[in-house]
Amino acid sequence: MNEMLPPFPDTGRARSARRLKLADRVDHLAGLSLFEGWSKRDLRGIARNTREEMIEPDQFLIREGSPAREAYVIIGGEAVVRSKGRRVAVVGPGDIVGELGLLLHRPRTASVRAVTPLEYLVLDQAHLKDCIERSPQLGWLLLQTVANRLSDTVT
């Protein structure tokens, strides 16, 4: 069982004593459609700048309408996604939530609330932007992925 550490000072969210190795973080990111086509090397650049956090059941990971600057990769547990009070999804290991927060400066469009203890990686907008600036090809891959996702929801 994971030992809880003091909260991260910037978020107030609890830390998990479990520490994923860099290779495990890369594997979690590689499984996301958001990073389809990215090399392991490029994913390591992102993974180095992720941090692990954990919240307890009934706590909010994301609140609808709040500022968005991060995305969260679920590595353990389950959460419910609600938009305008309506349940729209249940997410768990291998899912990403809040990814539009990495790309847009808009308020969150949904809330995400833990059903079980929830462990996740935090992807920071500034670090993603830095990786893309160093390798514009990554920006193109990300743009293609987002465009594909949008076209799937329109058709």
Per residue in 83-137, pLDDT (tens digit) is 999 999 999 999 989 888 777 878 999 999 999 999 999 998 888 888 788 888 8
pLDDT greater than 60 at residue 140: yes
Higher confidence at residue 110 or residue 13? 110
Residue 105, classified by CB atoms within 10 Å of its CB into exposed (0-12), middle (13-18) or buried (19+), is: exposed
Tokens 């079980």, residue located = 116
For residue 130, give the amino acid letter: D
pLDDT greater than 60 at residue 52: yes
Lowest mean pLDDT among 11-25, 87-101, 136-150: 11-25
pTM of the model: 0.80
**Measuring CA to CA, which residue among 102, 57, 97, 100 is closest to residue 81?**
97
Q: What percent of the chain has pLDDT over 70?
A: 85
Longest dimension (CA), the chain: 46
Q: Which pLDDT value is given to residue 102?
A: 75
CB 117 within 8 A of CB 54: yes
Q: Which pLDDT value is given to residue 144?
A: 80
- Rounded mean pLDDT of 144-151? 74
pLDDT greater than 50 at residue 7: no
Rg (Cα) of the chain, in Å, rounded? 15
With both helix axes pointing from N to C terminus, report the angle between 40-47 and 125-134 in degrees, rounded to the nearest 10: 140
With both helix axes pointing from N to C terminus, report the angle between 40-47 and 22-30 in degrees, rounded to the nearest 10: 110
